[in-house]
Structure 1
Amino acid sequence: MKPLQVSEDILPIAEFKTRASEVVRQLREHRRPVIITQGGKPAAVLLAPEDFDQLASRARFLTAIDEGLADAEAGRVLSDEELDEALTEQLGKRKA
């Protein structure tokens, strides 16, 4: 996702309504988010589907890291041997 260009990427909702098809086409071409305003205040952000997927993936990754760090701080960890035993129990014996 490219950085926002204030002069082009912030639109009042009325203008978005009249130019919706064009705005979506430009969104896909330029890969920049579009801010939709209502009453002069930001009301929505329009993103290309690929950009949304990337942001959602990053958010899930960061959440997983935070959960892992919290588990480590709380002592909820396994030794290598304990992990091997748990995986063997769940998945069966590995073939060497």
Structure 2
Amino acid sequence: MRVSESIVPVSDFKAQASEWLRRVGESGQPLVITQHGKPAGVLLSPQAFDELMAQAHFVASVEEGLADAEAGRLHSHSEVVAEMKRRFRGPSSK
């Protein structure tokens, strides 16, 4: 999709919603929907939405880890290994 074709007024979108959904699904490119000449929403393919959510989750996890490090909430490798062994011992090793 070209950038000029990736922006559509809401009235045009409503009139041809199934066609726009098909285009977005095939191209994977987002569609900006305008209302009164201003951006009002963005239509994404399910795959693009899933990728965006995965990125957001990853960034949030990294930020949480950095905050833990800055607050001194750190554990050595050997402490983590020992805790994992304690938590995930199989039933036969009890």
TM-score normalized by structure 2? 0.88
Identity %: 45
**Alignment RMSD:** 1.6
Unaligned runs of 5+ in 2: none
Q: TM-score, normalised by structure 1?
A: 0.86
Counterpart for residue 79 of structure 2: 82
> How far did 1:5 drift?
3.0
In the comparison of the two structures, how many residue pairs are matched? 91
1:65 and 2:46 aligned: no
Runs of 4+ in 1 over 3 A off after TM superposition: none
| Runs (5+) with no aligned partner, structure 1 | none
1:46 is aligned, of 35, 43, 46, to 43
2:30–2:42 Cα contact (<8 Å) kept: yes
Distance 2:50 2:85 in 1: 34
